[in-house]
Amino acid sequence: MLTIATWNINSIRKRIAQLDRLVDLAAPDVICLQETKCADALFPKKEMEDLGYVHQAYAGQKAYNGVAILSKFPLSNIDLHRHCGRDDARHVSAVVGEGDAAVKIHSLYVPAGGQVPDRELNPKFDHKLKFVDAIADFFAAHHGLSDAAVVAGDFNIAPLPTDVWDHMRMTRTVTHTPIEIAALERMKRALYFIDALREVHPAENPVFTWWSYRAADWLAANKGRRLDHIWVTPALKDRIADVDVLMDVRHWTPASDHVPVVLTLKP
């Protein structure tokens, strides 16, 4: 079995204790992190080793962005990928395993896109759409259709009606607009990715991974969105054993507004 977790941790240095709890709870073999908000020189390498993750790939920026892959197993072919001509730390990849057992893992953090869902009025929204298109082109160019690959992270798009708390209202809100959903679908088609969670949890069942800090009681309001995803290539589809959304992690303090998603692959 290979267990892969993804979590927008919203500052790794603030939430090392929560990572410790996540390891106790789910014991993932690999952890993909987003929004580490930590320059490489300050990355808590020793603390991650103490948690059992000796093998690390990370790319950081001071105060924002930042992605990482932490692994109990050796990593090879570690790469930081830049997109759209920007020096943002939003995409790191590495290979876990060797030979026929090798799996390429990507930790990805898609830009949020600001508040206004109009690419002419909002440069951040325009950049988000260009970024997703660039990722689609990247996967089409760098992987074959038979490759064993996983892309995990905060995609900042909730594609299905059941991925948001109110579908009709949210179609006018960044993360669930038709143009974003279409862009994400193109990215998905680049390698015929499988949405691993929706292989386990039917599309008609609401599933959320993010709840705003603004809600005084986020659980009672339950105005969530499914922004965090784990996709696998068709070569891994039959190996999907389970996908869990660790909703209780949202109660941990100091809380991230995202919760981990954990994929278990059969041998």
Cβ contacts of 178-183, under 8 Å, gap ≥ 24 = 179/117, 179/119, 179/129, 180/113, 180/117, 180/128, 180/129, 180/132, 181/157, 183/129, 183/132, 183/133, 183/136, 183/157
Helix, strand or coil, per DSSP, at residue 245: strand
Q: Which residues of the chain have pLDDT under 50?
A: none
pLDDT of residue 100: 86
List the CATH number of the domain containing 133: 3.60.10.10
The contacts found for 116-123 with CB under 8 angstroms, 24 or more apart, are 116/174, 117/172, 117/173, 117/174, 117/177, 117/179, 117/180, 119/179
Number of domains in the chain: 1
Q: What is the reported pLDDT for 115?
A: 97
Q: What is the pLDDT of residue 216?
A: 82
Give per-residue pLDDT as tens, 162-203: 999 999 999 999 999 999 999 999 999 999 999 999 999 999
CA 66/CA 116 separation, integer angstroms: 24
Q: Which domain holds residue 140?
A: 2-265
pLDDT of residue 215: 85
In angstroms, the CA 180 to CA 107 distance is: 20
Using one digit for the tens of pLDDT, what is the confidence trace for 103-131? 999 999 999 999 999 999 999 999 999 99
